[in-house]
């Protein structure tokens, strides 16, 4: 498999550090609100990468963090008058619901920044000891110029950056030895969560968190580090500087970044009124459609989100699901066991499509071309599978078809939507269970409905429900 490496700006043959094993680190969301549709793209893309590497036979250690301490989380907590953990835990749960709806598999490990503070303090101490960091009034800064290769990922020159890159500036600018030095540890402010450290009560800088969590759960060197292209600078650049300065070794072998998502050809922003959360989109489209839409373009190509394009994806996905239903039904009803001579020829074409699909995925995860192969298989299926087809042919077609869809995370079984009368019947059963003090059954019904997108609310007027 070849991967486009952001570091070298070229496609490279993927060779893991350890044979048969792959460590992938993907920067996860800051959990202060529902994730937006832009957050969904790296989740879907790199989940597909993980699925394909697993299909190739690798044992994949997939780590994706939750940033659960951050200015935005603290601001939200102060607005609601609650602890920041209340906000972060609430939205971690919501992120996981959206991931499930998009058929994004849970990571091998989902570390939380707040649970790894001791390791972060230890890393900062190492950087100070090695002369890469210094403390001023409780703030610890990284000496950017001390790390001679700074800028090698983003291909930025330090002298050009010095003219005033605002994304690296923080309060206390005059304390820094150099304007480009960035924060590793910041002192406590009133109303903020904090942890004890050798430099006083405080909390870690954002960049530091990923360096520590990737080291703990994967090792000093990561096979593949991935995320959105907006993270290349300064976040990933700073991760490299911290990690390589502390560990004395390469931080990541391959860097993969997905391109931006636009809404109706404009950059997504709240001021333009085109900022959508995944939850809001799910009210209009099944999130399986959104997954299919995201994979219909190459991950390094900018993607434009519009109703017309999503409707087209919806229709395409419907063709795929319908085709699978057709072959599954034919396999179940087949009366002939063995393939005919003609079917043997068709089966050889199925094998050719499989190789073509693998070639697309091996070419820097080209899901767009892989989906084109799936549609070629749909065409073959629709023209060769009928009531007279043999079970052997239908089974082969169904097996390969499902395998290709599974790699893309496309569910071939149509989701059955609950009818209103079914919901009311379950609510009635739950009420009866509560009267009988069978609270376990009552909770089971509530949770089952929630998993199917139905939320219950107990009010004075009775139980009300709504789709979420």
- CA–CA dist 279, 153 (Å, integer): 34
Whether the CB-CB separation of 243 and 274 falls below 8 Å is answered with: no
- Tell me if residue 310 falls in helix, strand or coil: helix
Q: Give CA angle at 91 (453, 266), nearest 5°.
A: 85
Report the candidate in 352, 149, 339, 130 with the shortest Cα–Cα distance to residue 238: 149
pLDDT for 240 equals 98
Sign of CA dihedral 3, 6, 12, 16: negative
Residues 6+ apart with CB under 8 A from 24: 46, 49, 50, 53, 60, 61, 62, 63, 218, 222, 223, 224, 225, 226
How many C-beta neighbours within 10 Å does residue 258 have? 27
Residues 6+ apart with CB under 8 A from 328: 398
Give the bridge partners for 186, in sequence order: 203
Task: Give the chain's radius of gyration (CA, Å).
Answer: 26
pLDDT of the chain, 468 residues: tens digit per residue? 999 999 999 999 999 999 999 999 999 999 999 999 999 999 999 999 999 999 999 999 999 999 999 999 999 999 999 999 999 999 999 999 999 999 999 999 999 999 999 999 999 999 999 999 999 999 999 999 999 999 999 999 887 776 544 444 444 556 899 989 999 999 999 989 999 999 999 999 999 999 999 999 999 999 999 999 999 999 999 999 999 999 999 999 999 999 999 998 888 877 788 889 999 999 999 999 999 999 999 999 999 999 999 999 999 999 999 999 999 999 999 999 999 999 999 999 999 999 999 999 999 999 999 999 999 999 999 999 999 999 999 999 999 999 999 999 999 877 655 567 778 888 888 888 888 888 888 888 888 888 777 888 887 777 888 776
Q: Write the CA distances from 247 to 35, 185, 213, 242, 255, integer angstroms.
A: 33, 18, 14, 8, 18
- CA–CA dist 195, 69 (Å, integer): 11
pLDDT for 271 equals 78
pLDDT for 167 equals 45
- Tell me if residue 59 falls in helix, strand or coil: strand
Whether the CB-CB separation of 39 and 278 falls below 8 Å is answered with: yes
Whether the CB-CB separation of 237 and 227 falls below 8 Å is answered with: no
- Tell me if residue 71 falls in helix, strand or coil: helix
pLDDT for 165 equals 47
- CA–CA dist 233, 229 (Å, integer): 8
Tokens of residue 464, six digits: 């009300």
Burial of 59-75, coded b for 16+ CB within 10 Å and e otherwise, reads: ebbbbbbbbbbbeebbe
- CA–CA dist 379, 146 (Å, integer): 59
pLDDT for 168 equals 42
pLDDT for 376 equals 98
| Phi-psi map region of 379: left, alpha, beta (phi>0 left; psi -120 to 50 alpha) | alpha
Cis ω for the linkage preceding 196 (within 30 of 0): no
Cis ω for the linkage preceding 234 (within 30 of 0): yes
Whether the CB-CB separation of 169 and 179 falls below 8 Å is answered with: yes
- CA–CA dist 360, 350 (Å, integer): 15
- CA–CA dist 324, 328 (Å, integer): 6
CA 79 to chain centre: 28
- CA–CA dist 468, 453 (Å, integer): 5
Give the bridge partners for 463, in sequence order: 458
Whether the CB-CB separation of 67 and 113 falls below 8 Å is answered with: yes
Q: How far apart are the first and last CA of the chain?
A: 40
How many C-beta neighbours within 10 Å does residue 428 have? 12
pLDDT for 166 equals 44
Q: Write the CA distances from 105 to 110, 278, 346, 408, 433, integer angstroms.
A: 11, 16, 34, 12, 33
Residues 6+ apart with CB under 8 A from 459: none
- CA–CA dist 368, 79 (Å, integer): 43
């Amino acid at each position: 498999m070849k991967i486009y490496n952001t570091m070298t700006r070229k496609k490279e043959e993927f060779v893991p550090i350890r044979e048969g094993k792959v460590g992938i680190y993907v920067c996860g969301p800051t959990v202060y609100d529902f994730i937006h549709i832009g957050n969904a793209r790296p989740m879907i893309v790199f989940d597909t990468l993980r699925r394909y590497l697993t299909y190739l036979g690798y044992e994949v250690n997939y780590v994706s963090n939750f940033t659960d301490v951050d200015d935005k989380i603290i601001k939200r907590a102060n607005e609601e008058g609650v602890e920041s953990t209340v906000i972060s835990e609430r939205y971690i749960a919501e992120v996981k619901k959206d991931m499930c709806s998009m058929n994004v598999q849970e990571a091998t490990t989902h570390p939380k920044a707040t649970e790894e503070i001791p390791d972060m303090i230890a890393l900062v101490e190492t950087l100070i000891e090695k002369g890469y960091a210094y403390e001023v009034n409780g703030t610890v800064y990284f000496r950017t110029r001390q790390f001679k290769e700074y800028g090698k990922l983003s291909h930025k020159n330090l002298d050009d950056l010095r003219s005033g890159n605002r994304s690296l500036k923080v309060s206390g600018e005059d304390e820094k030895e150099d304007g480009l030095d960035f924060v590793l540890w910041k002192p406590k402010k009133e109303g903020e969560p904090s942890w004890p450290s050798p430099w006083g009560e405080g909390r870690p800088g954002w960049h530091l968190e990923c360096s520590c969590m990737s080291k703990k759960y994967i090792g000093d060197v990561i096979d593949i580090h991935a995320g959105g292209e907006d993270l290349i600078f300064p976040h990933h650049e700073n991760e490299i500087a911290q990690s390589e300065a502390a560990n004395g070794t390469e931080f990541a072998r391959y860097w993969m970044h997905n391109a931006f998502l636009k809404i109706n050809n404009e950059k997504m922003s709240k001021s333009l009124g085109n900022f959508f959360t995944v939850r809001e989109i799910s009210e209009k489209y099944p999130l399986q459609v959104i997954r299919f839409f995201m994979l219909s373009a190459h991950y390094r190509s900018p993607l434009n989100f519009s109703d017309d394009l999503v409707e087209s994806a919806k229709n395409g996905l419907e063709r795929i699901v319908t085709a699978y239903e057709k072959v599954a039904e034919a396999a179940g009803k087949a009366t002939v066991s063995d393939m005919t001579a003609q079917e043997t020829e068709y089966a050889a074409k199925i094998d050719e499509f499989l190789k073509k699909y693998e070639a697309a995925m091996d070419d820097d995860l080209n899901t767009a071309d892989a989906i084109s192969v799936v549609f070629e298989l749909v065409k073959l299926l629709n023209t060769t599978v009928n009531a007279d087809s043999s079970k052997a042919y239908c089974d082969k077609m169904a097996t390969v078809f499902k395998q290709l869809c599974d790699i893309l995370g496309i569910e071939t079984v149509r989701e059955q939507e609950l009818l209103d009368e079914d919901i009311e019947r379950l609510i009635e059963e739950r009420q009866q269970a509560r009267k009988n003090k069978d609270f376990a059954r009552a909770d089971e019904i509530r949770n089952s409905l929630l998993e199917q997108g139905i939320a219950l609310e107990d009010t004075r007027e009775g139980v009300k429900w709504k789709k979420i």
